[in-house]
Amino acid sequence: MLEVRDLHVKFHNRDREAVAGVTFTLRDGEILGLVGESGSGKSVTAMSIAGLLPRKKCDYRGDVLVDGEDMLHANRSLLRKIQGNKIGVVFQEPMSAMDPLMKVGRQVEEVLVIHTDLGPEERKKLAIEALADVELPNPEEVYNKYPHELSGGMLQRSMIAAAIVARPSLLLLDEPTTALDVTIQAQILKLLVKLNKKHGMSMLFISHNLGVVRKLCKRVAVMQRGVIVEEGATNDVFFRPQHPYTQHLIECIPARVKVIARKRAEETEGGADND
Amino acid sequence: MKYALRRILALFITMILVSFLAFAAFHIISGDPARAILGMNATEKQLALLRQELGLDKPFLVQYFNWLLGFFSGNLGISYSYRQPVASLIIPKLQVTLVMVLISFGIIVVLSLPLGLRAAQKSGGRLDWLRTTVDQLCMAVPAFFLSILVSYVFGIVLKFFTPGDFPKMERDLTGALRYLFFAAVCIAIPRIAMAVRMLKSTIIEEMEKDYVRTAISRGNTRAEVLKKHVLKNSLVPTITFLGQTMAEIVGGSIVVEQVFGIPGMGRFLVASISNRDYPVVEALVVILAFWVILSGTVADLVGQKIDPRLRLGDRS
């Protein structure tokens, strides 16, 4: 469903390529983790997939195919038909990613306004359904709230609702839990697993935190300085890292978490445990 | 709604304070008004009689409250130099200035919004330097110079109006409005330049924000994002700016009225100050203060209508 082949992106104001030959595929219904520290090129990869690269400010080559459409070279009007409709994006900071002056419900509906001919009432119905889908307690109430009236966790749920309301086949999650505290983070991860199962949506989950990725993704790709240095089943990468950079990333996870993780992995033996 | 009531209450309290300060200040510096009116040759008896007539023999606070009540009943005291009620002297002049200021404000709003928007959209384009230069030039030009220029070009050369011969509004309304229009343009031009510059930078700043990227990721064009999201977000700083403008163009009108020979409030204020006509000055100071505070209050109220975050105070 998503195929990235030899993607290169170099911004004009940088010496080094932000993405220097990345290749990976994401199968239908799969959740793939993309891990790396800031500046490793993971967000630029996501932007290339979402058609959000500032094309005038960078050189780019390679292929980014989403259901066969080349997002890297498609013209603007084709891009706009895919954006929001086939690809939903959730960003890191829910507070700044939302228009502060527009009610949450209207922002959730926006994709439907752009991509469908639905009337206002049908749109509202779908928006409230989506808000309920992300397990917000009072979807009708949230619909009429302004972003500043909601907590970070509720906002990020609303952002996810806005991204999935048109049932895109691909959901890009660019550090969606980084700005949230740990308990909320865990809830959001659970929610994503549920949505993945319920709607069969493919997800690309980007994070600098391998521990978080492990909870969600069966397969993970580790990026460093614009290239994927290691790729494989999450548990393999997590317990038998081949690349020194991956080992370094794992060392950053607190020891206690690793012990628990190892126990759980042994219990479920082989497959990843999506708890 | 509660917020609006609170703001209006605050406006009244501020006005009472301002009026008290103005009254007290002129009470202290004005010396003996009776002597000022009657001159050095007046007898003690004549002075005492006039003081009684003007209420100057009463205690200070009583005088203040009588004067304050005058704002509601229209009795603002007697002008020293004209020996006429202050209210009947200033009302026609206030009318002239108010009309001029409103025309000017209208020009500012109507021109600066589209110009600012265009400047933001075309920013970085080939003509950006030209726009910026013209903008800075308009901002830097002093009002009196602009007034002289406009009087000369449109008054003397093109004869759209006769500089120095302001038609009475009651007799020739269109003539008076035409005259005021050219003065209003002189007041407006520097403010338009400022507004355009402000709007341009605000819009460009907003276009860089995260929510714009979100909106693009949903399939909006940049023009749609501008229309649906950015304009509204740019509106709050713009309205604050327009509120300040509303207050400041009254100050700007003083100079322009002088050059154009418009019998408005500014000119009258300057003349009254040099004549030490304190009842007139007092009244005008309070009216000016009211205008400034009113502009700010209205801008705040409109701003909080647009931006729900400014309504937070409502919860208390």
Task: Grade residue A124 by pLDDT with cuts at 50, 70 and 90.
Answer: very high
Q: Which among A249, A232, A223 is positioned nearest to A21, based on CA atoms?
A: A223
Torsion sign over Cα A217, A223, A228, A232: negative
Set of chain A residues whose Cβ sits within 8 Å of the Cβ of B206: none
Q: Which among A33, A32, A3, A6 is positioned nearest to A19, based on CA atoms?
A: A6
Query: Cβ of A52 and B216 within 8 Å?
Result: yes
- Closest CB from A76, A84, A99 relative to B217: A84
Surface-to-core class of residue B293, CB atoms within 10 Å of its CB (0-12 exposed, 13-18 middle, 19+ buried) = middle
Which element (helix H / strand E) includes B93?
Answer: helix B86-121
Set of chain B residues whose Cβ sits within 8 Å of the Cβ of A99: 211, 214-215, 229, 233
Set of chain B residues whose Cβ sits within 8 Å of the Cβ of A80: 219-221
| pLDDT given for residue A193 in this prediction | 94
Question: Cα(A163)–Cα(A172) distance, rounded to whole angstroms?
Answer: 9
- Region A243-269: mean pLDDT is 75
Set of chain B residues whose Cβ sits within 8 Å of the Cβ of A82: 219
Check whether A271 has a pLDDT greater than 50: no
- Closest CB from B211, B216, B219 relative to A99: B211
* Closest chain B CA to residue A165: B218
- What is the distance in angstroms between the Cα of A167 and the nearest Cα belonging to chain B? 12
- What is the distance in angstroms between the Cα of B306 and the nearest Cα belonging to chain A? 8
Query: What is the 3-class SS of chain A, one letter each residue?
Result: CEEEEEEEEEECCCCCCCEEEEEEEECCCCEEEEECCCCCCHHHHHHHHHCCCCHHHEEEEEEEEECCEECCCCCHHHHHHHECCCEEEECCCHHHHCCCCCCHHHHHHHHHHHHCCCCHHHHHHHHHHHHHHCCCCCHHHHHCCCHHHCCHHHHHHHHHHHHHCCCCCEEEEECCCCCCCHHHHHHHHHHHHHHHHHHCCEEEEEECCHHHHHHHCCEEEEEECCEEEEEEEHHHHHHCCCCHHHHHHHHCCCHHHHHHHHHHHHHHCCCCCCC
Set of chain A residues whose Cβ sits within 8 Å of the Cβ of B308: 101, 146, 148-149
| pLDDT given for residue A259 in this prediction | 72
Query: Cβ of B218 and A114 within 8 Å?
Result: yes
Give the pLDDT confidence of B36-93 residue by residue, as tens digits.
777 778 888 888 888 887 777 888 888 898 888 888 888 888 888 888 899 999 999 9
∠ CA(B222), CA(B224), CA(B226), 5° rounding?
Answer: 70
Query: Cβ of B211 and A81 within 8 Å?
Result: no
The values of phi and psi at residue B100, to 5°, are -65, -45
- Closest CB from A84, A91, A148 relative to B210: A91
Taking an 8 Å Cβ-Cβ cutoff, which residues of chain B contact chain A? Answer: 209-211, 213-221, 224, 228-229, 232-233, 306-309
Q: Which among A111, A140, A115 is positioned nearest to A125, based on CA atoms?
A: A140
- What is the distance in angstroms between the Cα of A217 and the nearest Cα belonging to chain B? 24
Torsion sign over Cα A88, A129, A202, A238: positive
Query: Cβ of B216 and A82 within 8 Å?
Result: no
Average pLDDT of chain A, as a whole number: 90
Question: Cα(A117)–Cα(A114) distance, rounded to whole angstroms?
Answer: 8
Check whether A166 has a pLDDT greater than 80: yes
Query: Cβ of B210 and A85 within 8 Å?
Result: no
Query: Cβ of B217 and A100 within 8 Å?
Result: no
| pLDDT given for residue B203 in this prediction | 95
| pLDDT given for residue B313 in this prediction | 56
| pLDDT given for residue A272 in this prediction | 47
| pLDDT given for residue A256 in this prediction | 66
Surface-to-core class of residue B17, CB atoms within 10 Å of its CB (0-12 exposed, 13-18 middle, 19+ buried) = exposed
Torsion sign over Cα B224, B230, B235, B241: negative
Query: Cβ of A84 and B219 within 8 Å?
Result: yes
Is B154 within 8 Å of B262 (Cβ atoms)?
Answer: no
Give the pLDDT confidence of A177-235 residue by residue, as tens digits.
988 888 899 999 999 999 999 999 999 999 998 888 988 999 999 999 999 999 999 88
Check whether A268 has a pLDDT greater than 70: no
Selected residue of A81, A95, A110 to mutate for chain B interface (largest B Cβ count, 10 A): A110
Set of chain B residues whose Cβ sits within 8 Å of the Cβ of A50: 217
Q: Decide if the complex's ipTM is over 0.90.
A: no
Is B123 within 8 Å of B116 (Cβ atoms)?
Answer: no
Per-10-residue mean pLDDT of chain B, 316 residues long, equals 85 92 84 75 84 82 88 84 88 93 96 93 87 92 91 90 85 91 95 95 94 95 93 93 93 90 90 86 91 93 89 54
For chains A and B, what is the number of CB pairs under 8 angstroms? 69
| pLDDT given for residue A239 in this prediction | 85
Give the pLDDT confidence of A26-70 residue by residue, as tens digits.
999 999 999 988 889 999 999 999 999 998 999 999 999 998 889
* Closest chain B CA to residue A108: B218
Is B283 within 8 Å of B268 (Cβ atoms)?
Answer: no
Check whether A242 has a pLDDT greater than 90: no
Set of chain B residues whose Cβ sits within 8 Å of the Cβ of A98: 211, 214
Query: Cβ of B217 and A101 within 8 Å?
Result: no
| pLDDT given for residue B289 in this prediction | 92
Selected residue of B207, B214, B233 to mutate for chain A interface (largest A Cβ count, 10 A): B214
Q: Say if strands A19-26 and A227-233 run parallel, antiparallel, or are unpaired.
A: unpaired
Selected residue of B207, B209, B211 to mutate for chain A interface (largest A Cβ count, 10 A): B211
Query: Cβ of B211 and A100 within 8 Å?
Result: yes
| pLDDT given for residue B316 in this prediction | 39
Query: Cβ of A76 and B221 within 8 Å?
Result: yes
Query: Cβ of A97 and B210 within 8 Å?
Result: yes
Cβ-proximal residues to B80 (8 Å cutoff; 6+ apart), any chain: B33, B36, B37, B275, B276, B277, B278, B279, B280
